[in-house]
């Protein structure tokens, strides 16, 4: 196959950051070409400048302080950085289209889907209303939306996230652009929906011989969809080339470290079998449902977040709960920690009937279950110093200020942070460091059970690997019993001894990690595994590692 000519070329692009930022350029001296009929993935961690670069192509700057200062972006011989505002408006949407991460905010909530897409046509070409409508309906059908007539008349909040992203794609492609820029288009979607949307983008790209610039942080997605890959770090392009070369023979040290940080889609070697070990946590018959507040009681919608959930964790064991968003996994975690009151069910922590405790007894026993939360920015009180955040727990339970402070320093050392961190405030730390602080806080009370609720989901892949390693090490050292909530099967495989798969508030499959991975029995589990992006790549990689 002869390489296609360049459709868009970025030449030595530099984008400045405002003077108070921690570095001078968002994008620095990046040269990259996009060819017809290919998907070029730009991969990088947060802050790598990948989104700023993509937005510079359409001159969509979020701030007047973030502006290109050098370089050219050539599209069909024309420098887009020099083009007039009017010319850019003519190009946007018609020749170069863009889709965004969060389709809910990228669509106007007060207009129907149909109206919004028709508007995209009306801005650029003259067509009769009937032609426009027909064109939109055809497009909605082309992106495999069920019942295009209904979707056409729907408001964005009436359809699901995956459908919204399809509608966004329909809107982007309606004028048959040469170039589609996709900025993390599947990051907000569940894994099964993500797989469908990725397949759709690939299919539309091939049908129309489009060029797609695909921005992502997820190497699984890259492996699934990329023809070529460009890796960015700190605003610079560190490496680019054919997908297979980069994935299998990365040259740059940064690319190698990124790839190494992606966990395999395979169970880690089993640690123990935990047969006969004492039970740390036993949950049975847990029920929780949410009632929508309808104006009329009969019309109120009931959502079962937990239906008869049973989980047992033995001392030292890590049990994972895996599921998509809305499966009820976080509700289960919060019910077990009694942060949400369950409707029914028994929760026993060792000998204590934790589910039946009330008021003072509950407060005193809360230290038995501690949680590490998902959001590294929201889970630490911004007005407390790190030392007092960690020391506060022991102090409530009667430790002296002196002893609590000593304990906090010990824990900071345990999670790999400097003792000086104790006097600093949460905003001075990065996301990964904050999760370490959150872990230290949870450990300060010597809990019998540690609940980790998506502790690494908000972190970049390299930081994620560090935090997981730390968690594994501490778990081993302290013999912790852990309930690990995640949506990511790769992560679950690395951390968990047993896995429960949840769907619509029910545990559909429960078993040893290697059994769930190698011989899943429930069809839903198999669907989940099939949807994991970059699955084939992960398996090849695991096989290659084994043979060498």
Nearer to another protein (CB atom), residue 234 or residue 367: 367
| The binder of another protein chosen from 165, 193, 371, 525 (CB under 8 A) | 371
Binding status of residue 136 toward another protein by CB under 8 A? no
Span interacting with another protein, options 101-109, 184-192, 439-447, 512-520, rule CB under 8 A? 439-447
Instruction: Compute the least distance from the CB of residue 455 to another protein, in Å.
Output: 11
Q: Which residues lie closer than 8 Å to 65 by C-beta, 6 or more apart?
A: 16, 17, 18
What is the SS3 string spanning 9-76?
EEEEEEEECCCCCCCCEEEEEEEEEEECCEEEEEECCCCCCHHHHHHHHCCCCCCCCCCEEEEEEEEC
Site for another protein in 372-431 (CB under 8 A): 373-375, 378-384, 392-393, 396-397
The Cα 457–Cα 461 span in angstroms is 9
Question: CA separation (Å) from 323 to 147, 190, 331?
Answer: 28, 9, 12
Q: Most distant CA pair in the chain: distance in Å?
A: 78
Q: Residue 355 is encoded by which pair of tokens?
A: 């589910």
Task: Give the whole-angstrom CA distance, residue 274 versus residue 284.
Answer: 20
CB of 377 to another protein, least distance (A): 9
Instruction: Using CB under 8 A, pick the residue from 70, 175, 339, 472 that binds another protein.
Output: 339
Member of 4, 273, 364, 476 binding another protein (CB under 8 A): 364
* Closer of 107 and 449 to another protein (Cβ): 449
Nearest approach, Cβ of 139 to another protein (angstroms)? 36
Query: What is the H or E stretch that residue 96 is in?
Result: strand 96-99
Residue 12, interface with another protein (CB under 8 A)?
Answer: no
Between CA 494 and CA 285 the distance in angstroms is 28
Contact flag: residue 19 with another protein (CB under 8 A): no
* Residue 362 CB, nearest approach to another protein (Å): 8
> Judged by CB, which is closer to another protein: 260, or 403?
403
Q: Give the strand pairing for 6-16 and 302-314.
A: unpaired
Q: How far is the CB of 379 from another protein (least distance, A)?
A: 4
| Alpha-carbon gap, residue 319 to 280, rounded angstroms | 11
Rule CB under 8 A: is residue 441 a binding residue for another protein? yes
Q: Considering the rule CB under 8 A, would residue 367 count as an interface residue with another protein?
A: yes
Whichever of 234 and 338 has its CB closer to another protein, that residue is 338
Q: Which residues bind another protein (CB under 8 A)?
A: 18, 63-65, 334, 337-339, 362-367, 369-371, 373-375, 378-384, 392-393, 396-397, 438, 441-442, 445
């Amino acid at each position: 196959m002869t390489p296609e000519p360049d459709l868009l070329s970025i030449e030595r692009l530099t984008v400045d950051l405002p003077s108070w930022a921690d570095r001078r350029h968002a994008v620095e001296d990046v040269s990259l070409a996009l060819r017809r009929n290919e998907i070029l993935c730009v991969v990088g961690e947060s802050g790598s400048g990948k989104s700023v670069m993509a937005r510079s192509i359409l001159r969509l700057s979020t701030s007047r302080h973030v502006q290109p200062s050098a370089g050219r972006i050539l599209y069909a011989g024309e420098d887009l950085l020099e083009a007039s505002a009017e010319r850019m408006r003519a190009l946007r949407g018609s020749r170069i289209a863009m889709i965004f991460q969060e389709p809910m905010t990228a669509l106007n909530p007060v207009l129907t889907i149909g109206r919004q897409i028709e508007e995209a046509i009306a801005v650029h070409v003259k067509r009769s209303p009937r032609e426009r409508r027909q064109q939109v309906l055809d497009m909605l059908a082309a992106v495999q939306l069920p019942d295009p007539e209904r979707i056409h008349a729907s408001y964005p909040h009436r359809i699901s996230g995956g459908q919204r992203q399809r509608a966004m794609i329909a809107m982007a492609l309606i004028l048959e652009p040469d170039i589609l820029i996709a900025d993390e288009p599947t990051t907000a979607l569940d894994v099964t929906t993500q797989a469908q949307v990725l397949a759709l983008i690939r299919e539309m790209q091939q049908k129309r011989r489009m060029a797609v610039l695909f921005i992502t942080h997820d190497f699984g997605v890259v492996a699934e969809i990329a023809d070529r890959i460009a890796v960015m770090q700190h605003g610079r392009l560190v490496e680019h080339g054919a997908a297979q070369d980069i994935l299998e023979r990365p040259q740059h040290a940064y690319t190698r470290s990124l790839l190494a940080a992606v966990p395999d889609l395979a169970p880690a070697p089993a640690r123990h079998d935990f047969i006969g070990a004492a039970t740390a946590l036993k949950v049975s018959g847990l029920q929780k449902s949410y009632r929508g507040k309808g104006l009329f009681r009969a019309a109120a919608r009931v959502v079962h977040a937990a239906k008869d959930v049973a989980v047992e964790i033995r001392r030292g064991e890590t049990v994972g709960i895996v599921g998509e968003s809305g499966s009820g996994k976080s509700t289960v975690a919060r019910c077990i920690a009694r942060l949400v009151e369950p409707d029914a069910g028994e929760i026993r922590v060792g000998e204590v009937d934790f589910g039946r405790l009330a008021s003072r007894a509950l407060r005193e026993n809360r230290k038995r279950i501690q949680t590490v939360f998902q959001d590294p920015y929201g889970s630490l009180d911004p007005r407390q110093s790190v030392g007092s955040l960690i020391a506060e727990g022991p102090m409530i339970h009667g430790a002296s200020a002196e002893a609590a402070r000593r304990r906090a320093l010990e824990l900071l050392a345990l999670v790999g942070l400097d003792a000086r961190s104790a006097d600093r405030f949460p905003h001075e730390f990065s996301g990964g460091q904050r999760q370490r602080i959150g872990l230290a806080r949870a450990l300060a009370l010597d809990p019998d059970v540690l609940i980790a609720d998506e502790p690494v989901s908000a972190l970049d892949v390299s930081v994620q690997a560090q935090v997981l390693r730390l968690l594994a090490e501490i778990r081993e050292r302290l013999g912790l019993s852990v309930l690990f909530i995640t949506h990511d099967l790769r992560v679950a495989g690395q951390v968990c001894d047993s896995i429960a798969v949840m769907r619509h508030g029910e545990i559909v499959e429960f078993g040893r990690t290697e059994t769930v991975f190698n011989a899943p029995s429930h069809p839903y589990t198999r669907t989940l595994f099939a949807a994991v992006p970059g699955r084939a790549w992960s398996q090849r990689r695991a096989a290659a590692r084994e043979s060498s």
